[in-house]
Structures are given as C-alpha cells and as structure tokens.
Amino acid sequence: MRRARWIAPWKDSEKKPAIYHCVSRVVERRFVFGDEEREQFRILMRMYENFSGCRVLSYCIMSNHIHILLEVPPMPKGGFTDEELLRRLSAIYSEVVVGEVAAELAMAREKGIAEHVAAIHERYTCRMHNLSQFMKTVMQRMTQWFNRRHQRTGTLWEERFKSVIVESGIATRMMAAYIDLNPIRAGMVKDPAEYRWSSYGEAVGGGRKGNGKKAREGLVRACMSHKGGGFEAEKWKDVAKMYRKLLGMALERKAGKAEESASAVKAKRLSAVTTAAMKKRAEPDAHRTPHEENNTVLTEMKMAGMLGHRIRYFTAGEVIGSKMFVNDAFEQARERFGEKRKNGARKMRGQSSAAAEHLWSARDLRVGV
C-alpha cells in the first residue's frame, strides 16, 4: 500500500510557511530533456504557478530529473473575488474559456444564486493552493506535450514525485542553493549563473521574457521568509550578494595567490566572515534574533561545503530543519510512525555531517549509497 504523502500539518497557517522540496525523475532516468524540453517545462511550471497560487522559490530542470522548492500558501480567508478567479484562470485558459466563465458568473450573480457562484469557484479553486495538484498537473501537461512532440505514448516520469518538508530560514536557503548547484555537481557548467534552466540562472540572466523577475522573487522569499520577507523583487540586489556568497562558499572559490592551499583560503575566508559577522552584530536590526546574530553566518559557512555533494537527506529525509522543527512535525504526524519511535529528529551523517546540530532529518538514511 502506498504511503500517504506527508503534508505540513500547519498548511493552513498564515504565519508558518509550508515549503516543500519536490523531485521527479524521467522514466528509467533517461536523458531526454534538451533545451526545448527544459524550456517547455519552465513555461508550464510558471503557468501553473500563476494559476494555482503556489510559489516556486527555487528550481532546476536537468536532463533527466527536476527539482522544485515550492511554497504552498493557505487559501485566502473568504475565498477569491470573481475578478481574482478570472485572473488566475487566464494563466492557463484561453480568452474564450475565461469569457465563458465570466459570463456564467455574471448570470449567477444577476439571478442571486449564491450556490451556483460558489460551485463555479469550487470547480477551479479545488486545484489551487495544493502541493499534489500543482505537481501532478505540471507533470501531466509535460507528459502530454512531450509525447506529442516526440510521437510517443506512455508515462514520462518513473514514479510519483518525492517531497520533503523544509523549514524556512537556514534550511530553505541551503536547499535553494543545493538545487541551484545541480548543474555544477553534474559537470554541465562551471558557474551556476551559466545554467539557464535554474532559479539562479533565470534570476541573473532572465527567463524566456528576459527579465527573471519571478526567479528573483522566489529566491528573495527563500532567503528572507523567516524574517517575514515576501516575494519582493526589489530586494534582489541585497539578497543576491548573500546568495552568491553562499554558492561561492559551496564551490570553494579560491581567492588570493595561486599557491595558497585550499585550506588556507578557507581559513582566510572564515576569518573574514567572522570579522564581518561581529561588525554586523553591532548594527541595529529589529528583525534579527540573537540566535541569528551569533550563529547564522558561521553556521552557513561551515555547512556550505557539503552542498557540492549529493545529499540524500534533502530528497528523502521527509522533513528537514532544526531539531525543534522536525520534532514538532513528528508530534503532529505521530500516526505515521510506530510506537517505538520516541522523537522525530535524526542527525544528518556522511557527506551531510557538517550540518549536524544545525539541520536535522525525520529519517535515518544509510551512508554511502
């Protein structure tokens, strides 16, 4: 029997984001996504993002699999106005279809049939603000397009997509960077900015329309959601510096003389970051917590190196975040586990050991596989 997907218990909360790292692989892991296929997937992903209300924080479309860091906000209290519903529909339906729905709504309003209006809304909103509906629809539409394009039939994806619940803050930033570094780990490019079909590549170089606004909004949210930051593209300039530094640390970029050893370079960088962090702590910031003041910069510095490796916890750990976060998710979904399980948080090991005490997983995973 297939195990039910673990959905964040706080999915309807307006204060605690429901963020998921979603992964899906092509059947038999075939390398079938070329430039055209990757571009088409991004088009579909953005279309259904606009329709569904789900927001893509980070993504990467590889040759045989896809990664999406997705936030699923709760449905707005009181539902949508007719105008907002029609705007959402225009993302995926033709003007003719949207016009027909508008006329149907207008007639129901004119006759004062509230039940009919509600039924029209429900017909479409049942697919909105929903993790499974978003991923299933995008994957199905991609399969249909791919099969028509390549004159084939059958499934495109090897199984249902995997999803991991991710805590906002350090965990989300690390996950976003891990996703954007996929082409580096695969040896496809030397700099993540060079890969067009990723959130960072789109944010820097622009997407199909050349502006990259959606990608910048997503990465701003990924980096700042724990501080109440929204999808504010205007903050990209400041966030980009921090995010680029994180990516650079993960790549172990060398700065200075060529003869310097990697360890010496890392020590120098650590010293510089430590000094900067101490200066930063002296500056007033109403949004900064004491924990962030003292630990965030150094914590991310120590963990960044592991992002250059494959981290199974990020795709199979079920829940990733602080010890308190994972234990809280465990307690709210206690029925998923046997009676002998006492708590949820498990230390990350192997290539992920740098995250020990900072990031925890809801699953124990075998090391070295």
On whether residue 108 sits in a domain, the answer given is: yes
Residues in the chain with pLDDT values less than 50 = 254-267, 269-278, 280-294, 369
pLDDT at 112: 93
On whether residue 280 sits in a domain, the answer given is: no
On whether residue 118 sits in a domain, the answer given is: yes
pLDDT at 175: 97
Residue-wise pLDDT for 206-265, tens only, equals 655 557 899 999 999 999 887 776 778 888 988 999 899 899 888 875 333 333 444 444
Please state the pTM of the whole predicted model: 0.87
pLDDT at 230: 77
pLDDT at 368: 54
Residue 89 CA to residue 243 CA, distance in Å, equals 34
Residue 340 CA to residue 167 CA, distance in Å, equals 25
On whether residue 106 sits in a domain, the answer given is: yes
On whether residue 105 sits in a domain, the answer given is: yes
pLDDT at 264: 46
Q: Which domain holds residue 112?
A: 82-125
pLDDT at 210: 59
On whether residue 121 sits in a domain, the answer given is: yes
Q: Which residues in 43-82 are b (16+ Cβ under 10 Å) and which e?
A: ebbbebbbbbbbbbbbbbbbbebbbbbbbbbeeeeeebeb
On whether residue 274 sits in a domain, the answer given is: no
pLDDT at 298: 64
Q: Report how many domains make up the chain.
A: 1
On whether residue 114 sits in a domain, the answer given is: yes
pLDDT at 262: 41
**C-alpha torsion 266→268→274→280, nearest 10:** -110
